A and B are shown apart, each in its own frame.
Chain A
Amino acid sequence: MSYNEKVLDHYENPRNVGSLDKMDAQVGTGMVGAPACGDVMKLQIRVSADGIIDDAKFKTFGCGSAIAASSLVTEWVKGKSIDEALAIKNKEIADELALPPVKIHCSVLAEDAIKSAVADYRSKQSQQAKGV
Chain B
Amino acid sequence: MKLPIYMDYQATTPVDPQVMEAMLPWFVEKFGNPASRSHAYGWEADEAVTLARKQVATLIGADPREIVFTSGATESDNLAIWGVAQFYREKGNHIITLTTEHKAVLDTCRYLESDGFTVTYLPVQPNGLVNLAALEAAITPQTILVSIMAVNNEVGVIQPLEAIGRLCRQRKVFFHCDGAQGVGKIPMDVNVMNIDLLSISAHKIYGPKGVGALYVRRQPRVRLKAIMHGGGHERGMRSGTLPTPLLVGLGEACRIAGVVMATEQSQTLALRERLRIGIMSRLTHVELNGDLHARVAGNLNISFNYVEGESLMMAIKNVAVSSGSACTSASLEPSYVLRALGVNEEMAHTSIRFGLGRFTTAQEVDHVIEIVVSAVNKLREMSPLWEMVQDGVDMTSLQWAAH
Contacts and interface: CB of A to CB of B under 8 A. Distances in A.
Contacts of A79: none
Contacts of B330: 102
Interface centre among B306, B307, B327, B383 (most CB of A within 10 A): B383
Contacts of B306: 61
A73 interface: no
Interface string A50-92: 0000000001111110110000000000000000000000000
Given A11-B311, A38-B349, A60 B403 contact: no
A1 B349 CA distance: 17
A60 B309 CA distance: 13
Contacts, number: 76
Query: A interface, by DSSP: helix, strand, loop or mixed?
Result: mixed
A59 B402 contact: no
B227 interface: no
A35 B385 contact: yes
Contact of A60 (B310, B345, B346, B383): B383
A30 B307 CA distance: 20
Interface centre among B381, B382, B384, B400 (most CB of A within 10 A): B384
Interface string B312-356: 001000000000000110101000000000000110010000000
Given A34-B401, A102-B330, A41 B384 contact: yes
B311 to A, nearest CB: 5
Contacts of A40: 383-385, 400
Interface in B348-403: 349, 381-387, 395, 400-403
B402 A34 contact: yes
Nearest to B313: A1
A31 interface: yes
A105 B307 CA distance: 19
Contacts of B387: 19, 42, 59
Given A60-B383, A63-B327, A105-B403, A36 B346 contact: yes
A111 to B, nearest CB: 12
17 contacts: A1-B327, A1-B328, A11-B314, A34-B402, A35-B395, A37-B403, A42-B384, A59-B383, A60-B384, A61-B306, A61-B384, A61-B385, A61-B386, A62-B308, A62-B311, A63-B310, A105-B403
Interface of B: 306-311, 314, 327-328, 330, 332, 345-346, 349, 381-387, 395, 400-403
